[in-house]
């Protein structure tokens, strides 16, 4: 968790600097020989680096728009990644690319969905084929009684309603490593597992998304009913099986999508939710990959239209055990529309409770608040792939160690975070939500402390924060 300024003393004073311009309009100065990633971090530019800048992921990748001759050749590590993924000369890993002159670049990843979209863009460059056969979880979602509810609504009101719903649903899907394949009227199709996740992980992500989407719909529906006289009730069906992932359509405008019987069956399962009165229906193939993990109704075997054999289906209303990741992401989504105000209030609470920490922040606190918001947003969205982001979290801990952060500070930050969440969530800040945030913060903090200890600087003991403040 960010508790200190993202700037530090430059140990290389006197070395030449070079202008680096990012395509979104920001221009920074990079020290001669500095990597693009380090230059971004030093200049407080949010830049994904889930592995901590070790060339073990591709999330820091950039496109060199101008000045390719002013950066270093690929390192052996970067060359291995680039060859495996079929990159052109202009696509580079920022953590391996050193600057020796003026450069214009574009950061290719701005959100979790970008990781998946860029992977999909590389479809065919590795195998030589433009189609791949995969085992994935497919989720279909549809709005109940949409046509009858909106037949007298003004068209722009309907567009506003759909976009608000889709934005919320897609965010939940993306946070769980899903890919929104397409929007179909008032429905959507999402796919989980296209990055090679094990079947159990793909199924868990799909079910997490289904539960999260239903929770979000319950919160949003009263607002839509009040403002637009439209209720948001969802039916969601999930199935697991084989699909073909490929580019489909006119040669001049093909789109990446999934096709196959698994997709058709997931659609039929979603349609069955209304008939049986279940908000979420899962196929046996999903349930089999999550034995004992789900709260399920009795198995049913309805006849699905267009399906020759009866399919076992289960109504699902969540997980048997508390799922801290799902709870933290769902509660964070409630705070997200007021995230800048949340960041401002967090620092107010932190300094009121711990005035001695104010000295760690030597620069513009407004900039630091934006960094906190960006970091918190990225961490919460990355919880579902913690093994991928733990390198970046450890690197964050190493940097904070250099800023003067000690391990005993983390408990104080946790207490300020909990107090701020309690203010913003009000009555929704339940003991279960509080316990989930404590668990997740503890995991992140431990990784940061581990990173600080590997920095070979003195750290005041292991993490044992006092989280007793209500």
Model-level pTM? 0.74
Residue labelled with tokens 């960094």:
371
Which of the 8 DSSP states describes residue 426?
G
For 79, counting Cβ atoms within 10 Å of its Cβ (0-12 exposed, 13-18 middle, 19+ buried), the class is: middle
Helices (H), 229-336: 261-276, 284-288, 324-335
pLDDT of residue 430: 95
Across 376-387, average pLDDT: 79
pLDDT tens digits, one per residue of 354-373: 999 888 877 677 777 877 88
pLDDT at 466 over 90: no
Q: Are 112 and 73 in contact (CB under 8 A)?
A: no
Q: Count of CB atoms within 10 A of residue 229's CB?
A: 12
* Residue 130, token pair as written in the block: 């433009």
pLDDT tens digits, one per residue of 76-133: 999 998 888 888 899 999 999 999 999 999 887 765 555 565 566 555 544 445 678 9
* Residue 415, token pair as written in the block: 């207490």
pLDDT of residue 95: 93
Highest mean pLDDT among 14-28, 231-245, 330-344, 361-375: 231-245
Which residue has better confidence, 245 or 9? 245
User: DSSP E strands: which ranges in 2-82?
Assistant: 17-22, 27-31, 61-66
pLDDT of residue 288: 96
Measured CA to CA in angstroms, residue 274 lies from 142, 271, 317 at distances of 10, 6, 15
- Percentage of the chain with pLDDT > 90? 53
Domains annotated for the chain, with CATH where assigned, are 17-109 (3.10.20.30), 113-321 (3.30.70.1230), 326-454 (1.10.490.10)
Which residue has better confidence, 302 or 143? 143
pLDDT of residue 311: 83
Residue-averaged pLDDT of the chain: 85
Q: Are 284 and 203 in contact (CB under 8 A)?
A: no
pLDDT of residue 306: 75
For 360, counting Cβ atoms within 10 Å of its Cβ (0-12 exposed, 13-18 middle, 19+ buried), the class is: middle
Torsion of CA 107, 112, 115, 121, to 10 degrees: -90
pLDDT of residue 456: 45
Which residue has better confidence, 117 or 288? 288
Alpha carbon distance 59, 387 (integer Å): 14
Task: Name which of 257-266, 282-291, 375-384 the model is least confident about.
Answer: 375-384
Concatenated DSSP letters for 352-393? HH-GGGGGG--S-HHHHHHHHHHHHHHHHHTGGGHHHHHHHH
Task: Name which of 89-98, 110-119, 198-207, 458-467 the model is least confident about.
Answer: 458-467
pLDDT at 252 over 60: yes
Helix (H, G, I), strand (E, B) or coil at 440: helix
39: nearest Cα among 55, 18, 16: 18
pLDDT at 197 over 60: yes
pLDDT of residue 469: 36
pLDDT at 336 over 90: no
* Residue 425, token pair as written in the block: 């969530």
204: nearest Cα among 383, 379, 435: 383
323: Cβ–Cβ under 8 A, 6 or more apart, which residues? Answer: 208
pLDDT band at 150 (very low <50, low <70, confident <90, very high): very high
Helix (H, G, I), strand (E, B) or coil at 153: coil
């Amino acid at each position: 968790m960010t508790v200190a300024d993202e700037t530090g003393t430059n140990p290389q004073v006197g070395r030449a600097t070079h202008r680096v311009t990012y395509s979104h309009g920001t221009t920074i100065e990079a020290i001669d020989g500095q990597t693009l990633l380090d230059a971004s971090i030093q200049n407080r530019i949010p830049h994904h680096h889930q592995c901590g800048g070790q060339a073990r992921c591709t999330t820091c990748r950039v496109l060199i728009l101008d000045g390719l001759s002013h950066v270093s050749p690929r390192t052996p590590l970067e060359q291995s990644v680039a060859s495996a993924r079929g990159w052109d000369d202009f696509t580079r890993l920022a953590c391996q690319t050193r600057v020796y002159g003026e450069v214009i670049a574009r950061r290719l990843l701005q959100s979790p969905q970008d990781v998946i979209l860029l992977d999909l863009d590389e479809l065919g460059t590795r195998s030589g084929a433009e189609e791949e056969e995969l085992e994935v979880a497919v989720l279909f979602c549809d709005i109940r009684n949409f046509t009858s509810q909106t037949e007298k609504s003004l068209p722009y009101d309907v567009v506003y309603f759909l976009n608000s719903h889709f934005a919320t649903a897609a965010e939940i899907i993306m946070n769980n490593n899903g890919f929104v394949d397409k929007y179909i009227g008032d429905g959507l199709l999402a796919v989980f597992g296209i990055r090679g996740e094990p079947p159990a992980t793909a199924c868990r992500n799909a079910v997490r998304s289904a539960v999260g989407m239903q929770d979000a719909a319950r919160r949003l529906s009263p607002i839509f009913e009040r403002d637009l006289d439209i209720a948001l009730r969802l039916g969601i069906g999930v199935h697991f099986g084989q699909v073909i992932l490929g580019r489909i359509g006119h040669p001049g405008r093909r789109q990446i999508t999934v096709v196959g019987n698994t997709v058709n069956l997931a659609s039929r399962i979603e349609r069955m939710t209304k008939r049986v009165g279940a908000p979420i229906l899962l196929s046996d193939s999903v349930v089999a990959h999550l034995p004992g993990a789900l709260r399920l109704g009795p198995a049913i075997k309805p006849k699905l239209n267009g399906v020759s054999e009866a399919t076992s289906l289960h109504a699902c209303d969540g997980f048997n055990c508390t799922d801290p990741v799902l709870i933290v992401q769902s509660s964070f989504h409630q705070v997200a529309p007021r995230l800048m105000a949340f960041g401002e209030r967090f620092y107010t609470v932190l300094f009121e409770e711990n005035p001695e920490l104010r000295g760690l922040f030597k620069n513009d606190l407004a900039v630091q608040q934006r960094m906190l918001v960006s970091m918190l947003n990225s961490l919460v969205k990355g919880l579902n792939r913690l093994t991928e982001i733990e390198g970046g979290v450890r690197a964050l801990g190493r940097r904070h160690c250099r800023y003067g952060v000690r391990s005993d500070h983390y408990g104080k930050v946790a207490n300020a975070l909990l107090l701020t969440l309690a203010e913003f969530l009000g009555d929704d800040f339940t003991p279960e939500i509080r316990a989930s945030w404590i668990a997740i913060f503890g995991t992140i903090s431990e990784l940061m402390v581990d990173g600080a200890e590997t920095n070979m600087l003195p750290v005041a003991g292991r993490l044992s924060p006092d989280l007793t403040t209500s």
